[in-house]
Amino acid sequence: MRIVLSGTGSAVGKTTISTGIMKALSKKFKVQPFKVGPDYIDPSYHTLATGTCSRNLDSFFMKEEQIRDSYLKAMEDKDVAIIEGVRGLYEGIDSINDIGSTASVAKALNAPVVLIVNSRSLVKSAAALVLGFKSLDPDINIAGVILNKVKNKDHYLKTKKSIEQLVNVEVLGGIKRDDSIAIEERHLGLVPAIEKENSLKYIDIWAKLIEESIDLDRLIEIMKTAPKITGKRQDIWSVKNKTKVKIAVAYDEVFNFYYKENLEGLKANNAKIKYFSPLKDNELPDVDGIYIGGGYPELFAKELSNNTNLLKQIKDFHLDNRPIYAECGGLLYLMNAISNYKMADIYPYKSLLTDKVQALKYTIAEVQEDNIISKKGEKFNGHEFHYTKVLVDEDDIKNKMAFNILRGKGSYNNQDGFIDKNTLASYVHTHIAALPDFASNLTISAKEL
């Protein structure tokens, strides 16, 4: 059983409603949550709601065959798949094709779609909106509608009647306007669930609201109509390393932006993952390589800077020519400083938090220098989103750059991927589906030392 929950645009309440449905259905079923697009934050709420790690499905990173393979592997012991879309149903990397859109994932999985509509001040116009979404692509099965931000019962019933009689699409329920259920946002979305002690309280509120407002039995019936997936499948990672290695992964309140498949790819390549906290641990685990993902180190800069022993050990690990791979937040941690707070000082540059977004885009990287995750001449897709910038003196650049950024911004001058010895740090977030040798190359780099 599966369903795609998609908005008609931004600010329609997709995450609140999707997470509430996940929590409500988890009381009866084993729910596997998914998120369309490059997102770490929404999946953190899905994971809390269901007790199952949410996974990303993205047609910019993945071929259709990889989307199906990732989905089916995740569903092996699950009953229900809830797939939260990204932005509007048809929004992708351009105005014509489906790449990067929720629609592309729905079609790859032949999944019915329930539209979430912000119905504030809309009645008959809501029917026109749904009709447009239904008519644009006949390969998309718009199987139902959920109305959000309804004023009262009368508003709901009028809008429901309009959609069902004029468009012949079933309305499964309506949720009244209630700003008190909104959780705070940071930078580019919801605050990561790992930071919020009261996240479960919010999720329980959302689930109760869903149970009171949505016909969940009918939603389940719609999910049962999804046909068996019979299309071709393709693995999302390669397996080339046969030697056991140990990889330290930074994971705590600061660093928690990782794609599950990246870590699974490391394990498939004989890596034993050892988690550590740059915020709380004084010593680095006994490992052969380090992986530092994204997060918000700029908000914990003072605390990270005070952990001088661990910073020194990471710098020494680098000086020993052992592999370190860092993305976005990890990049900042390896710089000389964040604002005036000293960091690992592997790269001699300072980083700053700015008032406006510096990059928010899908990226295409062309590898121009061999490194610990990729080889010269390769191209791979990724994404970048950050409010920080690295202050690089272009006249005095002391490090080679691994990537030429063909789409996106990068760290500076359309380049990214600072290289020094066997350390690589980049603003580009990598998904292993787009770089299948990522885990093989990183584990082999660790093995060879």
Q: Residue 188's pLDDT is what?
A: 43
Q: Residue 396's pLDDT is what?
A: 61
Q: Greater confidence, 412 or 263? A: 263
Paired tokens of 342: 């000293």
Interhelix angle 14-25/41-50, nearest 10 degrees: 20
342, containing H or E segment: strand 341-342
**Range from 101-110, 195-204, 260-269, 367-376 carrying the lowest mean pLDDT:** 195-204
**Range from 196-200, 226-230, 376-380 carrying the lowest mean pLDDT:** 196-200
Those residues with Cβ within 8 angstroms of residue 247's Cβ, 6 or more apart along the chain or in another chain: 266, 271, 272, 273, 274, 287, 288, 289, 290, 291, 442, 443, 446
Q: Residue 398's pLDDT is what?
A: 59
> Has residue 426 got a pLDDT over 90?
yes
> Per DSSP, which regions of 101-162 are E strands?
113-118, 142-150
Paired tokens of 18: 């999707």
> Has residue 218 got a pLDDT over 90?
yes
CA distance 1 to 111: 9
CA distance 11 to 354: 24
All domains in the chain, ordered by first residue: 2-224 (3.40.50.300), 245-447 (3.40.50.880)
CA distance 392 to 349: 6
Tell me how long the chain is.
Answer: 449
Please state, in angstroms and as integers, the Cα–Cα distance from residue 22 to each residue in 41, 46, 56, 157, 276, following that order: 16, 7, 15, 25, 30
Those residues with Cβ within 8 angstroms of residue 293's Cβ, 6 or more apart along the chain or in another chain: 249, 250, 251, 255, 256, 257, 258, 326, 327, 328, 329, 330
Of all residues in the chain, the percent with pLDDT exceeding 70 is 93
Residue 449 — pLDDT band, cuts 50, 70, 90? low
Average pLDDT of the residues in 109-116: 98
CA distance 447 to 323: 10
- pLDDT tens-digit profile of 173-213? 999 987 666 655 544 455 565 555 678 888 999 999 999 99
> Has residue 89 got a pLDDT over 80?
yes
User: What residue type is assigned to position 86 of the chain?
Assistant: V
Residue 101 — pLDDT band, cuts 50, 70, 90? very high
- pLDDT tens-digit profile of 148-160? 999 999 999 999 9
Catalytic residue at 328?
yes
CA distance 147 to 3: 17
CA-wise closest residue to 363 among 346, 380, 376: 380
Of all residues in the chain, the percent with pLDDT exceeding 90 is 86
User: What residue type is assigned to position 370 of the chain?
Assistant: D
What is the pairing mode between strands 142-150 and 171-176? parallel
- pLDDT tens-digit profile of 309-350? 999 999 999 999 999 999 999 999 999 999 999 999 999 999
Q: What is the mean pLDDT of the chain?
A: 93
- pLDDT tens-digit profile of 31-84? 999 999 999 989 999 999 999 999 999 999 999 999 999 999 999 999 999 999
SS3 266: helix
CA distance 265 to 239: 8
Whether 93 and 67 have beta carbons less than 8 Å apart is answered as: no
As beta bridge partners, residue 276 has 250
Active-site hit among 328, 402, 405, 446: 328
Q: Give the neighbor-by-neighbor strand order of the sheet with 171-176.
A: 55-57, 31-36, 80-88, 2-7, 113-118, 142-150, 171-176
What's the pTM?
0.93
Average pLDDT of the residues in 81-98: 94
192-220: b or e for each residue (b if 16 or more CB lie within 10 Å)? bbbebeebeebbebbbebbeebbebeebb
